[in-house]
Structure 1
Amino acid sequence: MGLWVFAEQQRIPLIGLIRFCTCAFGQTVSPKTQKLILKNFENVHSQLSHHNRLHTSSLRSSVHGIFSRIYDSHHVIVIDRTVEVTERRVFTAHLRFLLGIILLSCIQSVVNENVDINTLARIVKFFRKRYVFVGQYAVAINVPKEQCQSGFNPSESTFLKNDKSEKVKPYIKPDSKVVYKGTELIAAGRHKDAHSEYLLMNPPNKSPLTHLMNKKKDGCVIFYTLNSPCIDKCLNSDIIIKGLNELKAYQGIKAFVYTYIFKNDQNHKNLQKELKKIAQRVPLYRCNKEGCNSCGETVIDECIKAD
């Protein structure tokens, strides 16, 4: 099958689209890389032209792959400018359709941006070293998204600077309902009638978690609990599910993280099914001293293994 080549007047706006899809993350599109992406687009367009029965989902997947192989799925788009470009009569119907799919791919990449798993491991290690609490506890943070991306190393001087250990620790006591509400961090211990996740998520839409997320709407929110939410009181609670739905709607990076399986739920026959209630709403991770595992929406075995 011969290669279909774009005319010069079609290449210029397409190159602009490529740049729009990468600029906000500080990516530089070299001429060589730009040419590679453009040739990939031409191949995809050729498939569209010669195989009109090609499924839209397959084409979208192909286009998304062009970006993800080169930029690890970190892209952004200036939507108004792109819409203006694609509305011009420079493009055929096929090309406008193709650019629409590329635009969708860019938008989906931003929406689906996840925490860097190695940075997450360092953040959890920082939590556990800095805030040495007795018994079960949960914390949530809302920090600039750069602090959840690749290469960031949390330290006393760069991370949660206004939420020092000496300010947080007095609030986290066994059998207490008191919640610490700081600048970038909230935290709670466990009460016999109200587990720590409940204390941070209650009441729905007005909870400590709600107020924390409203402080920075495009940052990075990580909800960390030492033990996985219990099946009986947490994962079957309307309060927790509503809190997870709030977290799902957050526009920035988000993650739900735990280290141990709650002791009463170890080897529970429905553990995997119950943890899916989190994983299907928010990216779920299990982190220990060895690092972090992404549990995925199906919740992999590493995430339900007894301690």
Structure 2
Amino acid sequence: MAGFSWISGTLALLLIAGNCVAAVDQNQLAQLVNEIWGKYKINRMFSLAASIPEKKNMNQQYDAKQVFSNENGEEVKMEIKRGNVFNKGRIVAATPLKKKDKTGKDTHAEYRVLQNFDTFINNNDDKAHDLLLFYVLGSPCYDQCTNESDELNILRFLDQIKKWKHYAFVFTYIFKSKTSNQSTQKQRREALEKIGIRLGLENIFRCEMSGDRMQCSSCSAKKQVADYCVLYPDEEPDSNQRQPPTIPNVPGNNANQAIASSSQRGLDNGNRNDVSTGGRDNGGDNGSSRCSGGGNRLLNCLRNCFRCIRRGRSLERNAANMK
């Protein structure tokens, strides 16, 4: 009976682990976002999508050198600063277009990138193994980006991202409108919820610099939007939005690492004045490879599932009672 107990407990823990990890390892994602910051970041709002190939014979380890370089970095920045969309090879990038659309509104950067995905999709064949990294400097807004009734919303384009088996939607700063009633805490949360419905919250991350290091945290906390991804500095969650207590840090689990506080930073972006936050324990779901396959992949998954294993302790105790 002891053997049955051990097997039952192990299987239960593996099943839990398989359902609680994100599509991308957060440490690896931080390295990729750091490449974007180092080579493509400009001093205003921008968005960039890249299809990053797997390293040869290394499952879900991605080769940034095949995509990001100082040479194409200068080319991309020059093109998007002119107001054009860069769309070549494995990269598509854009800045907002100021009130030139027939609606009289700014066309946001992420909308322009997604609008040009057709060519981008055709240029990148290995969608079963590449990582699609969709980056936008500020989180998508509620009033336009995630408003189904607005013709410039991005929601209707997000299925294009899912043509890749592995993908991550990443931002750094939290959206703040000059009009306060367009960026309430509830609206910020709902905006990410709508994206999460389409892409999965476990595939949405916030990445920002902490000292001289880029750090990424999941925007999924117990299947809800993590506070870290919606709250401004020193802002408390609304009483009806408070999340369950987070699981304490455990060695090897970087999801609960505190992110160093950042001062408020405004971006030169018209009505999209995005602000960063920091210093909050988001309790996010830890990112790692999915728990399928065997060997090193499974081992890496288990190493990044301390949170999930703690949740499974009750199952373990139940199994022990069967001895």
Structure 1 partner of 2:303: none
Is 1:305 aligned to residue 231 of structure 2? yes
Q: Where does residue 183 of structure 1 map in the other structure?
A: 89
Question: Which among 102, 126, 131 is matched to residue 216 of structure 1?
Answer: 126
2:46 aligned residue: 137
Q: 1:202 pairs with 115, 134, 145, which one?
A: 115
How many pairs align?
208
Could you tell me which amino acid in structure 1 is paired with residue 68 of structure 2? L
Following the alignment from structure 2 to structure 1, what is the Cα–Cα distance between the partners of residues 194 and 6?
Answer: 38
Residue in structure 2 matched with residue 225 of structure 1 by the alignment: 136
1:172 aligned to which of 60, 68, 80: 80
- Aligned partner letter, 1:246: Q
Q: Percent of aligned positions with the same letter in both sequences?
A: 28
The counterpart of 1:66, out of the listed 14, 18, 22, is 14
1:121 counterpart (19, 26, 30): 30
Q: How far does the alpha carbon of each residue in 1:159-190 deviate from its partner, in whole angstroms, 9 at most, with x for none? A: 4359721221121127x2x2101211110011
Q: Which runs of 5+ in 1 are unaligned?
A: 5-38, 45-61, 74-107
Q: Aligned pair in 2 of structure 1 residues 251, 63: CA closer, same or farther (>3 Å)?
A: farther
Which whole-Å CA distance do the structure 2 matches of 1:150 and 1:260 have between them? 27
Greater Rg over alpha carbons, structure: 1
Which amino acid is the alignment partner of residue 160 of structure 1?
F
Provide structure 2 residue ranges, at least 5 long, that are not aligned to the other structure: 99-105, 233-275, 277-323
Q: Secondary structure at the match of 1:136?
A: coil
Spell out the pairing of 1:68-147 with structure 2 (5 A cutoff). Answer: 73=18, 114-146=23-55
Q: Is the 8 A contact 1:139 1:185 kept in 2?
A: yes
| DSSP 3-state at the match of 1:263 | coil
Residues 1:171 and 1:286: Cα distance change in structure 2 (over 3 Å): same
Of structures 1 and 2, the one with the larger relative CO (CA 8 A, separation 6+) is 2
> Given the two structures, how large is their TM-score scaled by the length of structure 1?
0.58
Q: What TM-score results when the alignment is normalised by the length of structure 2?
A: 0.55
Provide the rounded CA distance (Å) in 2 between the counterparts of 1:2 and 1:64.
15
Superposition RMSD on alpha carbons, in Å?
A: 3.3
The Cα of 1:124 is off from its aligned counterpart by 1.0
Residues 118 and 150 in structure 1, CA contact (< 8 A), matched pair in contact too:
no
- Pick the structure with more helix per residue: 1
